[in-house]
Every structure is written in C-alpha cells, then in structure tokens.
Amino acid sequence: MSSRITQLFDRLRPEGRKALIAYITAGDPAPERTPALVAALERGGADLIELGVPFSDPVADGPVIQRASSRAIAAGGSFARTLEIAREIRERSGIPILLFTYLNPMLRYGVERAARDARAAGVDGILLTDLSVEEAGASLQAFREAALDTVFLAAPTSTDRRMGLVAEYCRGFVYLVSRAGVTGEQDSISASLGPLIARARRATALPLAAGFGISTPAQARQVAEMAEGVVVGSAFVRMIEKLGGPELEPALEAFARELKTAMEAKQ
C-alpha cells in the first residue's frame, strides 16, 4: 500500500495541482497548542505537515527556527513529545505528517524504537537534516521496516553523483534546498532553483518539493510552477513567534490560504 505522502502527490498530479507543505516546530509555543496550529494550517489548505523536532543546536536553521527550537525545548518539547503531538493530530486528521529532525534527539530515543513509535503515532515519513545518505545505512533499514517514507535533501552544491544517491534513498518525494544557506525568509527565489530542479528530474521520477527561503504567496506561486511541492517554514514560525494568543490559529489559516490560492491561480 502506498504511503499517505505518495497518495497525496498521486491525487494532486492529474489535477495539475501542487502541494503546500507547512513546517512548524513541534512544541512551539507549547506542546499542547501544536495540534490546533496544525489543524488551522490544514483548514487553510496545507497538504502535508513537516513537524520539526526541537534541537538545541540546529546548524541548518536560521534565527527564526533556532528561536522556535529554544521556545519548544523550554516548553517541554522533545522527540518523545513530538510523537505524542503527531498522535493527537492523527486522531482527527488524515493529513500526511513528515517528521523533520536532527539526528541526535532520535539517536538518544533509539533508532528502532523511534521508527516503530513514529509509525504507531501516525507519522508517515522522516527527514533527518544532518544525516547524509552515506551514514544512513542502519537507520534506513529501521525506517523501511516501519514503512516510513525517507526524505533526503538535495542542494545546489550536490554533484550529479550525489543527486543520484539522494534520489535512490528517497521515498515519497525529494526535498530540494533552493539555495545555499540556512532556513529563513528571502526577498527572492534563488536562481539556483531552476537548474537544481532540472538536474533532479534527470535523477528521479519522484515528486520534487522545494524549500528554504520561500515565504510569500508570489514566491510560492513561482516555485509551484516548477515543483510538485512548496515548503514554507520560517514565515509560519515567525507568525507563531509574533502572535501568542488566540489570534494565532486564524492568522496561520489565513496565510496558508493565501499561499495555496496563489499556488493554484491560473496563469
């Protein structure tokens, strides 16, 4: 049986539609609020949720997600708590969930246990920011046994040889890092994205999603013309940082809708 992630792209493809992938850090601003934030994103049109596990030393993230990680840890966020949050989300929604984590919190939890418990909690796939395909061997087997999709990053610096490796190890979709840099909003879409997508197409038939630096409806639309999925993270996380109260959920929902609407506008 194909995964929720694969089913999503299979469903969108014939309609010519693209997936809005929303990242938020699990536990920010508090673990008990995350399921409601995800529900708001889903109402606004998010198709897939990237649930970030907070980590003390997120080297691939810019300041916005670094601060989200700190807030989440301070509020009790962790790998284990993220799985509980996923379980709560799954109780009332079929939205695909991709766990987005640095390696160490998962190692500490135990790789096989993590794979098993993530699956049981309703998680559909896992992306490990600092796990290269070369080091993935042992954990990959655990994820496969638990029928979790594995998503790896490909970057503008990835050589064709590496692009081939990444494509080979990916299940569900391939995540393209749109530019050289850490996560965070940018004024414009990097010129490196187009060529990167072209190279990825030659390496794989899997759907492609692009992220890192996409934060406005216009940018989301621009990327949706090239890729099957558009990842927006820091822009949502910044709203969570700014709006602490009950106004947060409607704001996230409205912004997701704006992004989705822009992505689906006719040329």
Rule CB under 8 A: which of 150-179 touch another protein? 152-159, 162, 166, 177
1/56 Cα distance (integer angstroms): 36
Q: Would you count residue 111 as binding another protein (CB under 8 A)? A: no
When the beta carbons of 27 and 44 are compared against another protein, the nearer one is: 27
> Side chain identity at 62, as an amino acid letter?
G
Maximum Cα interatomic distance, the chain, rounded to a whole number of Å: 48
Active-site residue flag, 185: no
Q: E strands, 78-212, where?
A: 97-101, 125-128, 149-151, 153-154, 174-177, 208-211
Q: Does 104 bind another protein (CB under 8 A)?
A: yes
Residue 265 neighbours by CB distance under 10 Å: 10
- Residue 260: other Cβ atoms inside 10 A: 23
Instruction: Please count the other Cβ atoms lying within 10 Å of the Cβ belonging to residue 72.
Output: 27
Among 112, 130, 241, 264, binds another protein (CB under 8 A): 130
Tokens of 62: 């810019």
Query: If binding is defined by CB under 8 A, does position 26 make contact with another protein?
Result: no
Kindly indicate which of the ranges 28-36, 116-124, 180-188, 225-233 contains the residues binding another protein, using the contact rule CB under 8 A: 180-188
List binders of another protein among 30-69 (CB under 8 A): 55-60, 62-63, 66
User: Is 28 an annotated catalytic residue?
Assistant: no
Catalytic residues: 50, 61
Residues that bind another protein (CB under 8 A): 55-60, 62-63, 66, 73, 78-80, 102-109, 129-132, 134-135, 152-159, 162, 166, 177, 180-182
